[in-house]
Amino acid sequence: MKKKLLSLMLAGVLAVTALAACGGSGSAGSDGAADSSAEETADADAGSSADSSAEEEEVALIGSSDDPNTLTVAAWDANFNIPALEAAEAAYQKVNPDFKLEIQEVSASSDVENAITLAGSSGDYSQLTDIVLFQDHYINQFMMNYPDAWQPLTKDADWSGFSDDKLSYSTFDGTHYGMPVDNGAAIFAYRTDILEQAGYTVDDFTGITWDKWLEQAKVVKEKTGYALMSMDHNGDDLPYMMMQAEGASQWKDGKANLVGNDTFKSIIEVIVQGAQDGTIILANDWSEYTDTTIIGDQVAGVFNGNWIIPTMKQNTAASGNWVVTTIPTLSGKEGYAANGGSSLYVTSNCQKADLASDFLTYTFGGGDGAIETYDAALTNGGVISCYGPAGKSDLYNQPDEFFGGQTVYADIVENGTHVPAVEQSDYHYDLRTLVGNLITNVINGNDIDAEIENAQSEIEFTMEE
């Protein structure tokens, strides 16, 4: 009876999160869940960076509270991040009954970014909330530009339960400033029924090289008509995820590392070959990616941050036929990557830093309330834990019928612990756009080496401005 109840709870929340999907304020995953999920991840190019959001309407944060047991926090996404915070509040109230979390819901991550920019520019941080949710790919820029806006956590969490990749965003000079929250671990899921028609199983696509993947994907395409992967080419995250699965980066020592980077060139060649073969669909925008290729049943494989799952589940006809496995690599080792994610940071305006740190550690940081927090966050908001031990709970280990009975949430948490940390940059999204253009130009017949040199020159010019 208990297992049946847990399964129903999960099914209910995923039905809700599937209504959200992706993009600034209505995305998921790094950002939310399903539509709320690609939130600032999949389409952070929609303008959630400080530069692109500077022209948006200013949103004032509510500041701090005079009550000694109340913390204020700013976060976006009522279907994803807010339920996770409410779950943490309820868990912490078990040890501090007077505790209250006053949550200010903002429309998008750019609202928080703009508030930090405004406060930093004026030198007045008094209007910031005690805690803010911040996108992983942007925090380094804001930590460097506005160092006085933050204060480190005063209590150690169980950092061993987090991946090196997740901690690399929130740790500066060996000091922990942020508490990781949601799991951006990427999934590579395949339709077993389609693979079977082509004479394959998921095992044939696990622990293989990209060359082998292209060869088999072409067979699947020829025999079934299905492509084996798609991506929103307007915000193309494939190169980043494929590089991370290799343990490699497009950056080195703070500079772009494209020219002479054999791994990068090989990854681009894989994507171009797949696009030319029709085994990889590079959609023109997010809607085409989700609505046409995934929900519209054009692909037998999905590779993205795990927040894409609610979108996948909207294609109900495919239920029971999906299985999640690891990512192919150039060498054939099993690959792991992440795409998206956010962490919670204590601002310099917080006068209750010890309370804030204790709250974050007890709940999201592996304290006694972690399992309760993450179970409720998954049930109520579809937030998958990035704290490894939370994936051992009964809830996370419930079979998911959509994935053929696979304990997919436990598997995602486990996979997330293996994601390698690679060098990041404030110019992550600028380079993503340039690499997307590079891919388009090579597909259209341009010389790959010339296009790589051009992309390198353009990002260097951008970084010098």
Q: What are the residue ranges in the chain where pLDDT is below 50?
A: 1-9, 12, 14-56
**Rounded Cα gap, residues 344 and 54, in angstroms:** 22
Residues in the chain: 465
DSSP state of 294: I
Instruction: State which amino acid sits at residue 464.
Output: E
| Cα angle 370, 373, 378; round to 5 | 120
Element (H, E) at 116: helix 109-122
CB 455: neighbour CB atoms within 10 A? 25
Q: What counts of helices (H) and strands (E) characterise the chain?
A: 17, 14
Question: What is the separation of C-alpha 232 from the centre of its chain, rounded to a whole number of angstroms?
Answer: 15
Residues 6+ apart with CB under 8 A from 24: 39, 40, 43, 46, 47, 48, 107, 108, 109, 110
Structure tokens at 194: 């389609």
Q: Whole-angstrom Cα distance, residue 434 to residue 45? A: 12
User: Which structure tokens are listed for 140?
Assistant: 């380094």
Largest CA distance in the chain: 67
Looking at residue 46, what is its pLDDT? 32
Tell me if domain 46-184+342-397 and domain 186-325 are identical in fold. yes
Query: What fold characterizes domain 186-325?
Result: D-Maltodextrin-Binding Protein; domain 2 (3.40.190)
Task: Single out the residue of 331, 302, 406, 383 nearest to residue 79, CA to CA.
Answer: 383
Tokens (6 digits) for 49: 């960076």
CA 163 to chain centre: 14
Q: Residues 46, 24: contact at Cβ < 8 Å?
A: yes
| Beta strands per DSSP E along 294-449 | 301-305, 322-325, 342-346
Count how many Cα atoms sit within 13 Å of the Cα of residue 102 in the half-sphere of its side chain: 16
Phi, psi of 72 (to 5 degrees): -100, 145
Between CA 13 and CA 400 the distance in angstroms is: 13
- What radius of gyration do the chain's Cα atoms show? 21
**What's the CATH fold of domain 46-184+342-397?**
D-Maltodextrin-Binding Protein; domain 2 (3.40.190)
Tokens at 75, concatenated:
């976060």
Helix (H, G, I), strand (E, B) or coil at 74: strand
Domain ranges of the chain: 46-184+342-397, 186-325
> What is d(CA 397, CA 204) in angstroms, rounded to the nearest whole number?
25
Closest CA to 39 of 323, 373, 310, 438: 310
Sequence letter at residue 172: F
Straight-line distance from the first to the last Cα atom of the chain, in angstroms, rounded to the nearest whole number: 62
Beta strands in 150-272 (DSSP E): 171-172, 175-176, 178-180, 186-191, 229-232, 251-252, 255-256
